[in-house]
């Protein structure tokens, strides 16, 4: 049985489709990733599945219950870690967990045990009676995750769980996510714009762009879309790199994209048997030196680039993207 089934799910804000006829299903016990840039519609999908927003069109079910008609049933099954941290600063760690636990009607004694157990799991026992307002961002996010675990949810929604965290805290949260998935058999839906995170955690990944799922498969299979037999990804280090140089590489027939990593380093995606030679020749013809060449394995970033034709990066890229698509689409979450 599928833990989640989504059929033509659509959410319009005015005339704007934030989520546009999305269909997918998530198996029980799976970690399913929704990967896409900010404003792609990930959060809106999570909000519809967790009964917080009503779909404009289409249906979705969680644990076999319809998210609109049987929202009460759905709420009993799910836990939500939203992008905004759901904790009260002026309450202590224990009081926060107690408050949310009581909303799920967990009896007092059991709840106390559960709180201790969860705090131990994320190494926050020492701060049990400290106000959450005094916590670091990493500590708050760990609290935020265990808060969603209080009712032993069958399905856990994680909306950008590592947003704004330092690398070490991100690693801790990811390990914790994997642990609860394995040990508690919790089905997890996770949204992220971090490729590595999706790659590391998710059994399957849905790539989402402009409210539509543009690809959906395991990470390995997705990468195969790029690393076909004749696909090459090169990282080249060239001193005196100029925009002209980049342009001339980009204009090569075999090259599908070029991105600049820093002032001397570029990454080139290309196709064809002779791509490697063609690129090196082009650089030589421009009388540039090549300090190093690396032949890279494809990443999810490359997959995204290949499928959508633009990068998952910052707003500057989004503007370029809008020009390319010849439509001005405001960002909606």
Partner 1 sequence: MGVKNVISHIFIIAWKDLMELFRNRMALAMLVLMPIFMMAMAGFIFPSNTSMSNISIALANEDEGYGNYSASSIFINVLEEINNSTEMMVLTNASSFDEVRNMIQRGDVEGGIVITRNFTLNLMTGEQGSIIIITDQSNPQLSIALQTGLKAVFDQMGTWLAQKNVETFPGVNATNSLAVVKPYHVETKGAIPGTFNYFDFMAPGLMAMTVMMSVMTGLPAAISHEREIGTLDGMMVAPIRRLGIILGKTFAQTVRGLLQGILILILAIALFGVVIHGNILLIFALLFLGVFSFVGLGVVITSFAKDQETAMMVMMTLMFPMLFLSGVFFPIQQMPWYMQGISKFLPLTYVSTALRKVMVLGADLSAISLEVTVLIGFGAVMTLIALPVFRKAMTR
Number of residues interacting with partner 1: please give it, by CB under 8 A: 29
User: Alpha-carbon distance 319 to 332, whole Å?
Assistant: 14
CB of 54 to partner 1, least distance (A): 5
Question: What are the distances in angstroms from CA 181 to CA 113, 120, 171, 184?
Answer: 21, 17, 15, 6
SS (H, E, C) 67-132: CCCCHHHHHHHEEEECCCCCCCCCCEHHHHHHHHHHHCCCCHHHHHHHHHHHHHHCCCHHHCCCEH
Contact predicate 205/218, CB 8 Å: yes
CB of 153 to partner 1, least distance (A): 10
Q: Which stretch binds partner 1 (CB under 8 A): 82-90, 116-124, 189-197, 288-296?
A: 82-90
Question: How many whole angstroms from its chain centre is CA 243?
Answer: 32
Nearer to partner 1, 73 or 212 (CB): 73
Q: What tokens appear for 139 in the block?
A: 């500590």
Residue 162 binding partner 1, by CB under 8 A? no
CB of 300 to partner 1, least distance (A): 28
Q: Which stretch binds partner 1 (CB under 8 A): 37-45, 83-91, 115-123, 173-181?
A: 83-91
Residue 76 binding partner 1, by CB under 8 A? yes
List the 57-62 sheet strands across, edge first: 16-27, 2-13, 57-62, 65-66
Which of 28, 57, 66, 95: binder of partner 1 (CB under 8 A)?
95
Nearer to partner 1, 91 or 282 (CB): 91
Q: What Rg, from alpha-carbon coordinates, does the chain have?
A: 23
Range 104-133, binding partner 1 (CB under 8 A):
104-105, 131
Q: Under the rule (CB under 8 A), what is the footprint of partner 1?
A: 50-54, 72, 75-76, 78, 80, 82-88, 90-91, 95, 99-100, 102-105, 131, 147, 151
């Amino acid at each position: 049985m599928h833990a989640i089934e989504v059929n033509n799910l659509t959410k319009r804000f005015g005339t704007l489709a934030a989520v546009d006829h999305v269909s997918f299903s998530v198996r029980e016990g799976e970690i399913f990733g929704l990967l896409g840039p900010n404003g792609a519609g990930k959060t809106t999908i999570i909000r519809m599945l967790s009964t917080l927003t009503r779909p404009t069109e289409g249906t979705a079910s969680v644990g076999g219950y319809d998210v609109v008609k049987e929202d009460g049933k759905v709420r009993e099954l799910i836990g939500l870690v939203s992008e905004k941290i759901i904790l009260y600063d002026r309450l202590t760690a224990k009081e926060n967990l107690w408050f949310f636990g009581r909303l799920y009607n967990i009896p007092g004694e059991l709840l106390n045990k559960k709180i201790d157990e969860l705090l131990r799991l994320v190494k926050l026992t020492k701060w049990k009676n400290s106000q959450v307002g005094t916590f670091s961002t990493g500590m708050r996010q760990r609290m935020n995750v265990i808060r969603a675990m209080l009712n032993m949810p069958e399905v856990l929604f994680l909306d950008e769980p590592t947003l704004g965290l330092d690398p070490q805290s991100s690693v801790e949260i990811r390990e914790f996510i994997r642990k609860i998935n394995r040990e508690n058999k919790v089905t997890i839906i996770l949204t992220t714009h971090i490729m590595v995170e999706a790659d590391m955690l998710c059994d399957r990944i849905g790539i989402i762009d402009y409210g539509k799922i543009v690809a959906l498969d395991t990470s390995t299979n997705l990468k195969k879309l790029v690393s076909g037999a004749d696909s090459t990804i090169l990282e080249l280090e060239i001193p005196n790199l100029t925009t002209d140089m980049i342009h001339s590489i980009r204009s090569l027939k075999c090259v599908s994209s070029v991105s600049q990593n820093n002032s001397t380093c570029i990454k080139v995606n290309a196709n064809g048997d002779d791509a490697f030679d063609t690129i090196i020749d082009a650089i030589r013809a421009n009388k540039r030196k090549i300090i190093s060449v690396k032949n890279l394995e494809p990443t999810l970033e490359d997959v995204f680039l290949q499928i959508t034709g633009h990068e998952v990066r910052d707003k500057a890229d989004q503007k370029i993207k809008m020009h390319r698509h010849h439509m001005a689409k405001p960002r909606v979450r």
